Each structure stands twice: as C-alpha cells, then as structure tokens.
Amino acid sequence: MLEKKTTEFLEVLSSKEPVPGGGGASAAVGAFAAALGMMVASLTEGKKTYAAVEEEILCAKDRLKEIRDRLVHLADEDARAFEPLSKAYGLPRTTEEEQKVREEVMEEALKEASLVPLTIMETVLESMAELEVLEEKGSRLAVSDAGVGILFAQAALEGASLNVLINTKMMKDRETAGHYEQRAAELIREGRQRKDRIYERVLKKLQ
Amino acid sequence: MLEKKTTEFLEVLSSKEPVPGGGGASAAVGAFAAALGMMVASLTEGKKTYAAVEEEILCAKDRLKEIRDRLVHLADEDARAFEPLSKAYGLPRTTEEEQKVREEVMEEALKEASLVPLTIMETVLESMAELEVLEEKGSRLAVSDAGVGILFAQAALEGASLNVLINTKMMKDRETAGHYEQRAAELIREGRQRKDRIYERVLKKLQ
C-alpha cells in the first residue's frame, strides 16, 4: 500500500531539492493526523453502541475531511512560497540600489514563507479539537488510532513552527518577526496542552 | 506534489478499513523523518564548508536510506500482521474445543501484531542516531529540516508504541505481554532523551 503510493513523495523529500522540505512534510503529517481521526469516525458510525453520539462523530469527520484537504493544499502552498525566496537570493547586489531592491524583495518573500507554516499550524490546531471529540466519544476499538493522530498533530505543529522560525530569523522587520514567533509559540503551547491531556487518557484506556 | 502522490494513501487511511491504521502511519512518518535526514545530507554533500565531515554525512545518508526503505516495508508488514488477527476474531466459539482453538490462534496473532510495531520502534530509534549526526554536522541552512525529522521520529516511536499496547492488552500470556510493554517503554525513553537534546539545540540555532 504505502510502497506504491508514497515512495515517490519520499524520494523527492530525500533529495537535495529544497521543497518539499520540513514545511511541506509537516503539512503532510498533519493531514495524516486528520485522516486517522476520520478513520476513527468511520469505524464508529453506524454502530449501535455509539448511536447517541453519531451526529457529533459525523460532524467531526466532516470537519476533519475539510482540514485534511486544506493541509494537502498547504503542503503545495509551502513549496510555492519558497520560489520567490529562492529567486530573491539570486538577485544582483553589486550597487547600493541593487542591494536595496534585493533586501525589499527578500523581506517580502520571507514574510510569505513564514505565513504559510503559520497557517499550517493554525489548521493543525483545529484538527486537534476534532481528534479530542473522537478520542472521547469514538469507538474504543480505535482509541490507539486517535492517540496516534494526536501525536502526529503535535509533531506537525512543532515541525511547522521550525519553518516559521528559520524564515523570521532572517527578517529585518523585527516587530513583525516577533509577532509571528509569538503566535507560533502560542499555538505550540495550546497544542501541547491538548495533546498531553488526550495522550494521557489514551494510555489509561490501553492499560 | 503531495496532492498527486499521497492523496490515495490518505484516502485509505481515512476509511473504515482497519489497515492502514496507526501502525502503518507511524512507519510512514518514521520514513518521512529518515527522508528529511537524507535531504539534510543531500544539501550538505559536495559543499566546501563541510568537506571535513563529508564522509560522515554520506555514511549517515546511506544508513537513513536503508532505514527509510525498511520502514516503508514495515508499513506493509503491519497491514499483513492484521490479517490473521482479523481471521481469528471470526473463528467459531460455540464448543469448548472451538473456544480453545480460537484462543490459541488469537494469542499467536496478537503476538505477531505486537512485534511488528515493536520492530517499527527499533527501526525509528536507529534513525534518530543518524539524525543527530546531521543536526550536529550537516548544513546549517537545513537545520530546521533536521529538527522536523527528529520531531517526526519521536511521534512515530510513540505512535507505534500505542499499537504495541492495543495488542498486548488483549494477550493472555501476561509475561510475554509485559516484556513487550517494557521494551516499548524503554525505546520511548531513549528516543525522548535524544529528541529533547536535538530539538533544544535546533531551537538555539534558530534564535
């Protein structure tokens, strides 16, 4: 299954091509997390034992599908955002005027390259709320899948944050850079709280 | 990129098909981690600044390629190990003899289904040593990718462990189950130490 379908993605990820890199891979792992939540929902729906929560489960599944598809799209966005940055590096910088132009173009490109992983982070955090519903109310038989989902979501969140930082680090506009970094730190904190809570409950259910 | 190549895997992961589930997805995320390490190596090799460590980098890259390919194979192994378990569930259990047979077949299938994620864990842990080499000696420009790799590796490790636990939980042979669970806990501990150390250094380099 995996052998046929993701080997090609793994090949380009391994290569010296700068994209896909950590940003796109984080979006992909976030999409895996959402997909695992959907799997828990799929294994719960239609079961008599869970009839009382069926509507909630289906609602979470719909949201996760939408989040998953957005993350797949964001993986591509991340690759696209790298292009202007790569071009900016190549701009001439002999004259003072050229240096000024290059710096401006670079600054704009760095902002964009920071904003995409920040959006990936916001999107992954959304998935965690749905994963919590599924861990709490979904089929007990699939509780480990909900647990894997929440672990992946937090890794995707922290992974994307490194891609925010590598870009903000080089920004001249320190105020904007600071805002982005602060937002990334907040999102990690929120995610970590939810992840710790869910993971602990999953481990208890598996005892 | 991602849109074309992994959407199909995401579709089956989201479905009510029990495999691929959290076990196979953990192997896949472990393969992503190894691929990111290879990418760091690919971005380092041939660069003058890193000529002194070139051999070490190439050696780590070779090992990661081998680990990545083993993980892709283990994702499929995990799916295969589920089959006998699924069949065992379906065995008749009317007579006492039937119950005894079913229990024995089930026990064997549970052992196998625990051993595959345990092997995934051992394999992912191997990749972490190589990721550390790349974080320490690889191109500074790709340090965020090494960081994402180590985050993914730990998530894969803990994710696979939940798939050990969901199987050992049902085993009648509590001594063997206990051994497996202890081994999984050890591997998580080792991984966490390495991950914390590397992640902290990556964050410092990104300051």
pLDDT for position B5: 58
Alpha-carbon gap: B98 to the closest alpha carbon of chain A (Å): 24
A2-11, B87-96, B111-120, B172-181 — which is least confidently predicted? Answer: A2-11
In a domain, B82, yes or no: yes
Q: Which residues contact B40 (CB under 8 A, 6 or more apart)?
A: B134, B135, B138, B139, B142, B143, B145, B146, B149
| Neighboring chain A residues of B75 at a CB cutoff of 8 Å | 1-3
Residues from chain B that touch A145, judged by Cβ atoms under 8 A, are: 21-22
Q: How far away is chain A from the Cα of B139, in angstroms, using its nearest Cα?
A: 12
Residue A20: is the preceding peptide bond cis (ω within 30°)? yes
Q: Do B152 and A29 touch (CB under 8 A)?
A: yes
Q: What is the pLDDT of residues A117-164, one digit of tens each?
A: 999 999 999 999 999 999 999 999 999 999 999 999 999 999 999 999
* pLDDT value, residue A179: 98
Dihedral sign for Cα atoms in the order A78, A79, A84, A86: positive
By mean pLDDT, which of A140-154, B4-18, B158-172 is the weakest?
B4-18
**Residue A18: is the preceding peptide bond cis (ω within 30°)?**
no
Which chain A residues are within 8 Å of B24, Cβ to Cβ? 1-2
pLDDT digits (tens, 9 = 90+) for A55-66: 999 999 999 999
Residues of A in contact with B72 (CB under 8 A): 2-3, 6-7, 10
**CB nearest A13 (choices: B35, B79, B143):** B35
Chain B CB contacts of A128 below 8 Å: none
Distance of residue A94 Cα from the nearest chain B Cα, in angstroms: 24
A12 pLDDT exceeds 80? yes
- Which residue of A lies nearest to B152 if distances are taken between CA atoms? A155
Residue A200's pLDDT is what? 98
Query: A151 at the B interface (CB within 8 A)?
Result: yes
How confident is residue B2, by pLDDT bands cut at 50, 70 and 90? low
Asked whether the predicted pLDDT for residue B30 surpasses 80, the reply is yes
What is the per-residue DSSP string for B156-203? HHHHHHHHHHHHHTT-S-HHHHHHHHHHHHHHHHHHHHHHHHHHHHHH
The tens digit of pLDDT for each residue in A89-125 reads 899 999 999 999 999 999 999 999 999 999 999 999 9
pLDDT digits (tens, 9 = 90+) for B39-56: 999 999 999 999 999 999
Is B1 inside any structural domain?
A: no
Question: Average pLDDT of chain A?
Answer: 95
Whether A202 maps to a domain, the answer reads yes
pLDDT at B26 over 80: yes
How many angstroms separate the CA atoms of A57 and B98, rounded? 37
Task: Please indicate, yes or no, if residue A190 is contained in any of the structural domains.
Answer: yes
User: What range does the domain containing A79 cover?
Assistant: 6-206
Distance from CA of B79 to the nearest CA of A (A): 9
Q: How many domains does chain B have?
A: 1
Check A144 against B79: CB less than 8 A apart: no
Residue tagged 């003899």 (tokens): B97
Shortest distance, CA A82 to any CA of chain B (angstroms): 14
Question: Taking CA atoms, what residue in B is nearest to A195?
Answer: B155
Q: How far apart (Å, rounded) are the C-alpha atoms in residues B54 and B179? A: 41
pLDDT at B1 over 80: no
- Contact call for residues A53 and A137 (beta carbons, < 8 A): yes
Q: What share of chain A is helix, strand, coil (3-state, %, to 5)?
A: 85, 0, 15
The pLDDT value recorded for residue B3 is 55
Strand runs labelled E in chain B: none
Residue B93's CATH number: 1.20.120.680
> Which residue's structure tokens are 């052998």?
A3
Report residue A163 as tokens: 């891609």
- In chain A, pLDDT over 70 holds for what percent of residues? 97
Q: CB neighbours (10 Å) of residue A100? A: 11
Alpha carbons A21 and B142: distance in angstroms, whole number: 9
- Asked whether A169 and B206 are in contact (CB, 8 A), the reply is yes
| A26:B76 CB<8 A | no
Q: Quick check: A194 pLDDT over 60?
A: yes
B1 contacts A20? CB cut-off 8 A: yes
Contact (CB, 8 A) for B140 and B28: no
Q: Given a cut of 90, is residue A2 above it in pLDDT?
A: no
Rounded-to-integer distance, Cα B139 and Cα A120, Å = 25
In-domain check, residue A120: yes
Plot region of B51 (φ>0 → left; ψ -120 to 50 → alpha; else → beta)? alpha
Tally A–B CB contacts below 8 A.
Answer: 206
Asked whether residue A1 is assigned to any structural domain, the reply reads no
Q: Is residue B64 part of a domain?
A: yes
Q: B28: which chain A residues are within 8 Å (Cβ-Cβ)?
A: 2, 6, 32
B 44-63 residues with CB below 8 A of A? 45
- Quote the CA–CA distance of B59 and B41 in Å, as a whole number: 9
Domain assignment present for residue A100? The answer is yes
